Structure 1
Amino acid sequence: MIENIFLALGLVLILEGLVYALAPSLVERFLIALSALSEDNRRLLGLAAMAIGLVMVWAAKTLGA
């Protein structure tokens, strides 16, 4: 169980690191655009991201990961 948590966190850090390493200016523009959204829209975006992540984890477990 704990190994799955470490695996998931490691993959998130790899992806985050790649984005910051390969496109730092894009991240900066994204953060500026994100700050222009209302708090409710940011909350909705976060909930949508969580739902997509949940579906992806469920699909991976269903497929045998």
Structure 2
Amino acid sequence: MGDFLAALGLVLVIEGLVYGGMPGLAKRLAEQVLEMPDSALRTAGITAMMLGVFLVWLVRG
């Protein structure tokens, strides 16, 4: 559970950096996401999940 909370905290830090440090970039990215087809978003999401699982497996091995 501790690892999960640490990972969640890291995600919040990264998102905070984007929204707090570069709000203009965050808005442009949100606009681009709205224009993307569902299939592209699904592919990107599944790829990100697979990469995340691989990284956790690699680190926690």
- Residues 7-22 of structure 1 correspond to what in structure 2 (within 5 A)? 7-22=6-21
> What is the TM-score when the length of structure 1 is the normalising length?
0.84
Instruction: Give the drift of 1:5.
Output: 1.2
CA-based RMSD of the aligned residues comes to: 1.0
Query: How big is each residue's C-alpha offset from its partner over 1:3-56, in whole Å with a ceiling of 9 and x where there is no partner?
Result: 111111111111111111111110111111111111111111111111111111
> What is the TM-score when the length of structure 2 is the normalising length?
0.88
Runs of 4+ in 1 over 4 A off after TM superposition: none
Unaligned runs of 5+ in 1: none
Among all aligned residue pairs of Structure 1 and Structure 2, give the percentage whose two residues are the same amino acid: 34
Q: What is the count of residue pairs matched by the alignment?
A: 61
Unaligned runs of 5+ in 2: none
